[in-house]
């Protein structure tokens, strides 16, 4: 029998691996919400465009990115399963209808642009264009419902706080989509798209205020008014102000640069309110739900080696397709 010594009994380098992996799971979720979030936002904005050339421009803007961005959701599920298998089992069995709804929306969102490009027939493109919008809006909505139910321990398919958070996530993805498209487009399309930013931001902030008010009134045990959650709210407000000011001044790259701050502040707020629990519905804490030391150490080493490669890939991808969409470019 192999003796792994301290590697099997002590956390790697004495690091707080339980907390780090809890944070890593939510970081990966944040990466998905940020990167695929602007794809969702573009899909929502697609509904406002009637001109065929403008629609092609929107599809061309996300064409090189969306399938790679979607991988982060798979990584989130894999990390949750590897580090917190009991939480994974509880969440996915308790919310299996939500999981199917999210997957169905993602499939529709991915299939619709491909089908849209197959035939240049008005009825055909109208149908698949609408399917693209529905998939792009419903996926972040159901993801927001899932996040709210995970935090609050809700076991039903829908709830009032779940719906409000779902709508907030949809608004956040539109904020991201506006920032992305403002960088990738030019002329009247760019001006029109940028005009949606303030309204989407206002909707997001209003829905966040409603959610926080609900949590303060109904779930004071979560500690919404503690220093760290309040600091995250302040960071979000500062990022929102920077976003709006940058849009007004036409500094679209800077506006898009505030989006990850908003997204990760949102995800960090959920994680902060949940900790030290990993599954509030069952009362499982992070310490209770984490795997044993040996597999945790092995996964930590593997992650330290693989994550830089993943970020390098995405860096090359986004640098290769940087800059605005050129005239005549299409999704295919």
pLDDT digits 0-9 by tens, 181-215: 999 999 899 999 999 999 999 999 999 999 999 99
Give residue-wise pLDDT tens across range 87-98. Answer: 999 999 999 999
- How far, in Å, are 147, 269, 304 from residue 26 at the CA level? 11, 10, 16
pLDDT at 1: 47
**Model pLDDT, residue 122:** 86
- In which residue are the tokens 């044993």 written? 292
- Secondary structure class of 230 (helix, strand, coil): helix
State the pLDDT at residue 271: 97
User: Residue 327 — pLDDT band, cuts 50, 70, 90?
Assistant: low
Q: State yes or no: pLDDT of 238 exceeds 50.
A: yes
Q: Which residues of 178-187 are buried (b: 16+ CB within 10 A; e: fewer)?
A: bbbbbbbbee
Highest-pLDDT range among 59-73, 114-128, 193-207, 316-330: 193-207
What pLDDT does 8 receive? 64
Distance CA 88, CA 12 (A): 24
Q: What is the pLDDT of residue 93?
A: 93
| Average of per-residue pLDDT values in the chain | 92
CB 24 within 8 A of CB 64: no
| Arithmetic mean of pLDDT, 260-273 | 98
Q: What is the mean pLDDT of residues 95-107?
A: 95
What percent of the chain is predicted at pLDDT more than 70?
95
Mean pLDDT calculated for residue range 148-167: 95
Residue with tokens 């695929």: 36
End-to-end CA distance of the chain: 55
Q: What angle do CA 205, 211, 217 make, to 5 degrees?
A: 135
pLDDT, position 64 = 87
- pLDDT at position 256: 96
Residue 322's pLDDT is: 84
pLDDT value, residue 77: 94
For 6-16, write each residue's pLDDT tens digit: 666 667 777 88
Query: Do the beta carbons of residue 113 and residue 47 sit within 8 Å?
Result: no
pLDDT tier for residue 330 given thresholds of 50, 70 and 90: low
């Amino acid at each position: 029998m192999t003796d792994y010594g301290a590697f099997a009994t002590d956390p790697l380098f004495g690091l707080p691996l339980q907390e780090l992996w809890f944070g890593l799971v939510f970081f990966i979720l944040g990466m998905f919400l940020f990167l695929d979030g602007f794809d969702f936002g573009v899909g929502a904005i697609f509904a406002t465009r009637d001109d065929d050339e403008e629609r092609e421009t929107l599809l061309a803007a996300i064409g090189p990115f969306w399938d790679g961005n979607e991988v982060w959701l798979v990584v989130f599920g894999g990390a949750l399963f590897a580090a917190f298998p009991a939480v994974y089992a509880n969440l996915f069995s308790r919310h299996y209808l939500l999981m199917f709804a999210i997957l169905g929306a993602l499939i529709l969102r991915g299939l619709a642009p491909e089908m849209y490009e197959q035939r240049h027939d008005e009825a055909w493109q109208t149908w698949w264009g609408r399917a693209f919008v529905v998939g792009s809006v419903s996926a972040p909505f159901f993801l927001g419902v899932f996040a709210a139910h995970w935090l609050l321990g809700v076991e039903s398919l829908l709830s009032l706080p779940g719906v409000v958070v779902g709508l907030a996530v949809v608004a956040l993805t539109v904020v991201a989509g506006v920032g992305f498209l403002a960088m990738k487009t030019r002329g009247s399309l760019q001006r029109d798209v940028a005009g949606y930013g303030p309204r989407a931001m206002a909707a997001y902030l209003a829905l966040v205020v409603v959610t926080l008010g609900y949590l303060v009134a109904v779930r004071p045990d979560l500690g919404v008014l503690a220093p760290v959650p309040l600091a995250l709210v302040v960071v979000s407000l500062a990022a929102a102000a920077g976003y709006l000011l940058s849009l007004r001044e036409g500094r679209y790259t800077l506006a898009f640069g505030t989006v990850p701050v908003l997204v990760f502040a949102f995800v960090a707020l959920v994680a902060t309110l949940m900790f030290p629990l990993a599954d509030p519905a069952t009362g499982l804490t992070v310490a209770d739900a984490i795997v044993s030391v040996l597999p945790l150490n092995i996964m930590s080493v593997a992650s330290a080696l693989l994550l830089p490669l993943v970020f390098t890939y995405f860096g090359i991808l986004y640098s290769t397709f940087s800059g605005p969409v050129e005239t005549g470019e299409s999704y295919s």
